[in-house]
Amino acid sequence: MSEALANTRPFVHLHIHTEYSLLDGACRIDQLMDRVKECGQTAIACTDHGVMYGCVQFYKAAKKAGIKPIIGCEVYVATRTRFDKVNKIDGNNHLILLCKNETGYKNLIKMVSAGFVEGFYSKPRIDKELLEQYHEGLICLSACLAGEIPRAILAGDYEGAKAAALWYRDLFGKGNQLLVGRKRIFRIQAHLADGIRSIKIR
């Protein structure tokens, strides 16, 4: 490990797209574990987009490398319900879900499967009804610029962002929800980070 990396504060990536996020992720899982070790990190999450195809390979590779695997998924949440599929009306918002325990893992499998079997519309979509039913054992993150809360912030809808943040906090429980805003790499992300910080729901 280089001295510069060794001196950085402990850090764990909780939003990672592997090669199983088709057209979205570039990380080869084995090479990813090498890099995690090189950076002195002790854990890493797998949050492929809408799918869990890579979880077993990810888990085995992490264990072999002595890294703690955190199984998760960046799910697509239907803007109405998973059964609504009307062109130009029914889209999706992104949401990161991480498993805290085996119950969470089983619940995530149920939701991701339902996303394909019942909610597929351009993407495998879950919905808030499924989240209400299967949230136990899971932690949620506000996700990327395409998350429900970030989208409301970027649209200037502070009240909408706060309402969404409260809905997720009340469902998952305090301590099981993380609002994430990146540092100032791009102006739009700086704007989002400021918006995320401004939401007072504790």
Binding residues (CB under 5 A) for Zn ion: these are 94, 144, 146
Output 67 or 143, the one with its CB closest to Zn ion. Answer: 143
Output 142 or 176, the one with its CB closest to Zn ion. Answer: 142
Q: Rounded to whole angstroms, how far apart are CA atoms 94 and 74?
A: 6
- Residue 61: closest CA among 14, 29, 21, 27: 29
Smallest separation, CB 8 to Zn ion (Å): 25
- Residue 138: closest CA among 116, 161, 106: 106
Spatial neighbors of 133 by CB under 8 A, at least 6 apart, are none
Output 112 or 144, the one with its CB closest to Zn ion. Answer: 144
Smallest separation, CB 93 to Zn ion (Å): 9
Amino acid at 158: Y
Residue found by looking up tokens 């949050």 in the block: 47
Amino acid at 178: L
Output 65 or 120, the one with its CB closest to Zn ion. Answer: 120
Smallest separation, CB 176 to Zn ion (Å): 19
Output 67 or 111, the one with its CB closest to Zn ion. Answer: 111
Smallest separation, CB 146 to Zn ion (Å): 5
Q: At what angle do helices 187-198 and 158-172 cross, to 10 degrees?
A: 60
Smallest separation, CB 22 to Zn ion (Å): 14
